[in-house]
Amino acid sequence: VESVHVPSDSVCALKRISKKLLSSSSWRADVERLRELDHPHICKTLDAFEDSTSVYLVMEMCRGGNLNNLARMGSRIFTEAHVAVLVYQMVQAVAYLHNLGFVHCDICPENWLFEKDLNETTPPNDLRLKMIDFGLAQKYAREPPRKPTRYSYPNAPG
């Protein structure tokens, strides 16, 4: 849903999540983690609020549809240069999350939005892709294994 974020006076998206789907004890901490994400290819969470039945996320507005929609357009606007830019942006977003110790766990075309509408004349360098939907994201342990793992090939001497 398109809305206006009053503190910043900017157009934003409003995502409603039923409290029945959330862990009552952790959603606030999850939202705070989302608000801390700051990367050009991750959709920014600006704010959050709740009522008796739902939590609402106030997010950066992305008007260009998702990767799945673009794939349906076929080769009308895709060139190798377009694909290279998109893959680079996706890898940058995933690497950023991994460096923070998070795994998205739901990377699919529907979870990548374009910042603005595209057409047949959109040059590759004007593409701006944003990762969304961190509902399944997990924190992972970044510590190395305590004991080295030994590997050997079958029938190897020794």
Q: Which amino acids are annotated as binding site for ATP, given as ranges?
A: 15, 110-111
Residues 130, 38: Cα–Cα separation, whole Å: 11
Residues 33, 77: Cα–Cα separation, whole Å: 36
133 close to 153: Cβ distance less than 8 angstroms: no
Residue 111 carries which DSSP code? G
Residues 121, 123: Cα–Cα separation, whole Å: 6
Q: Which residue in 106, 117, 126, 133 is the catalytic one?
A: 106
Let me know the angle formed at the C-alpha of 19 by 17 and 21, rounded to the nearest 5 degrees: 75
For the question of residue 106 being annotated catalytic, the response is yes
Nearest to 97 by CA among 87, 107, 84, 85: 107
Hey, how many other C-beta atoms are within 10 angstroms of the C-beta on 114? 20
Block residue for tokens 């294994």 = 145
Both ends of the chain: CA-CA distance in Å? 65
Which residues fall in the annotated binding site? 15, 110-111
Q: Return the active site residues.
A: 106
